[in-house]
Structure 1
C-alpha cells in the first residue's frame, strides 16, 4: 500500500483540531515538565562525569515518561475512543514493551561500537583524530546501519499503542509494515529534523539569548535556567508530537485503518 505524506499532514491537522488540548496536556505533563525541571536545576552545560548519580536516575525517569507520553499521544492520534486518563493508563501498560523493543534494536549497535572502540584502545573520546581509520570506517557503517533500522522502526510507537504485542513481535510487525516505505519515512524524518533545528536553533536560540540578556547567565536553579529550559522543552515537545501524530496517520494508511478506522479521532478530557 502506498503512503501519502500529504494525506497524513491533512489528517494530523484534523487530529490537532479535535484533540490538540488533550495531546498538549499529555506532552506537558510527561515530557515538558520533567525535562524542564531537570534542565533548570542541572543544566546540560553544567553536567560532568562527576555529576551525582541521582541526576542520571532522574534523567532516565524523564526519558521513560517521555516515551510513555508518545504512546499516549499515539493512542489519541490513532482514534481509539478513550479519555485522557484512559490513554495514559494504556500508555503506562505498554511502555515496557516499547522500551524492550527499542533496547533490542539499539543495544547490538551500541555494544558493537563499544567493542570496536575498546579494541582500538579508545577510552576517552571518539574524535576522528583519535580513532584508527579502519575502526572509524567500521563505526560509521554501524551508525548508518543503526539509522536505517531506526527509520524502519518509525511505526513502532503507533503499533505499541495499537496492539498488545511484546518487544519481539513489535520489532517484527513494525519491520513488516514499513517495508517499501523507507525513503518516504526517511524524508519525513529529515524534514522534521530541519523544522526542529529551525525551531530550537533559531527561535529557541533567539528567545534564550533574550532571556539571558534580561535575567542573567544560566546557573543551576536560576530564573534564566528555568525559562530557557521551559522554552527548549516546549519547542522540542512540539516537534516530537508532530512526528508522532503524522507517523500514526501513516501507520493507519499502511495497515488499512488498524483497530481505529476513523479519520478524525477524539479523546475526552475526563478521567479514565
Structure 2
C-alpha cells in the first residue's frame, strides 16, 4: 500500500503554486470562478413569498459553467501532475477528458437520486407526488433521512475525491474513473476525511474574513451591495478572485495526493 503524507502534498502544492501561479490562476479565474460569478449575477432575487422566475440565459450559462469548470479543473490538475507542461497542452487534455468526467459524475448523481428520491416518497406517504403537504409525522423521519443521506454523500465523496486527477492522468472511461478513485483511497478514508474537514474549515474562515473586510470597504465607498449595483459587481469579482486561488490550491492538493497514491512523482508523465 502506498504511503500518504498530507504534509508532503501541501509542501508540493505551495511550491507548485508559487512557481506556476501565472499559469494556473488565470485558468482558475476564467474557467472556474468567472462562469460561476456570471450565474450568480443573473440569478433572480424573488420577493418574499414569490416564486422565482429564472431568465432563459441561465439555461445557457449553467451547462457552460459546468463544462468550463471541468475543463479548467482537469487542466490545472494535469499541470500539477506534469510540472513544466504548457497551458495549451493542459487545456487540450481538459477538452478531451471533460465529457468522460461529466459522465462519471452523472452516473453517481443518478445513483444517488435513485436511492434518495424513493426513500423520501416512501417517508412522505406519496403526498409529494400528489402535490399535497408533507404530514407532520413524516417531517422528523424525512429530516433524519436527509441528514443520513448527507453523511453518506460526504463519505462517498471522500472515496471519490480523486476522480478529477484520474480523469486527467489516466485514459479510462467513466466507470474506470469511479473504480480507480475508489481503489486508490482504500484504507485512507479517515485520513482523507480529516484533511477535507480541516481544509473546509480553513477555507470558510479565510473566505469569510476576506469577504467581510472587502464588503465593509465597498459598503463605505459605494453603498450596499444591492442587485445590479457597482458594489455587488465588484464584490462578485473579488469573490471570483478568492475562489480562483482556493480552487487552484485544492485541485493541486488533490493532484499531489493522487500522485502519492498512484505512485507518481513531481516529474510523472500521464499514466496510461
What TM-score do you get using the length of structure 2 for normalisation?
A: 0.85
- Give the superposition deviation at 1:207: 1.1
Distance 1:212 1:37 in 2: 21
Contact 1:11 1:263 (8 Å CA) reproduced = no
Q: How many residues align?
A: 260
Could you tell me which residue of structure 2 aligns to residue 262 of structure 1? 266
**Bigger Rg, which one:** 2
Which aligned pairs between 1:68-87 and structure 2 lie closer than 5 A? 68-79=71-82, 81-87=84-90
Distance 2:153 2:165 in 1: 20
Distance change (3 Å), C-alpha of 1:207 and 1:45: farther
RMSD value over aligned CA atoms? 2.7
* Structure 1 unaligned residues grouped into runs of 5+: 266-272
Could you tell me which residue of structure 1 aligns to residue 37 of structure 2? 36
Q: Is residue 2:112 matched to residue 1:109?
A: yes
Contact 1:106 1:146 (8 Å CA) reproduced = no
Deviation string, structure 1 residues 13-61 (Cα, Å, up to 9, x no partner): 221122111111211221222223333x325756963122322431332
Could you tell me which residue of structure 2 aligns to residue 25 of structure 1? 26
Contact 1:30 1:69 (8 Å CA) reproduced = yes
Deviation string, structure 1 residues 91-141 (Cα, Å, up to 9, x no partner): 0111111111112123222343333334413589x99x7853333333322
Could you tell me which residue of structure 1 aligns to residue 188 of structure 2? 181
Could you tell me which residue of structure 1 aligns to residue 63 of structure 2? 60
Q: Secondary structure at the match of 1:217?
A: coil
Could you tell me which residue of structure 2 aligns to residue 2 of structure 1? 3
* Structure 2 unaligned residues grouped into runs of 5+: none
Name the stretch that deviates more: 47-56 or 245-254: 47-56
Could you tell me which residue of structure 1 aligns to residue 254 of structure 2? 247
What TM-score do you get using the length of structure 1 for normalisation?
A: 0.85
Between the two structures, name the one with larger relative contact order (CA 8 Å, sep ≥ 6): 1
Contact 2:43 2:54 (8 Å CA) reproduced = no
Contact 1:18 1:264 (8 Å CA) reproduced = no
Q: Is residue 2:156 matched to residue 1:149?
A: yes
Distance change (3 Å), C-alpha of 1:44 and 1:227: farther
Q: Is residue 2:173 matched to residue 1:166?
A: yes
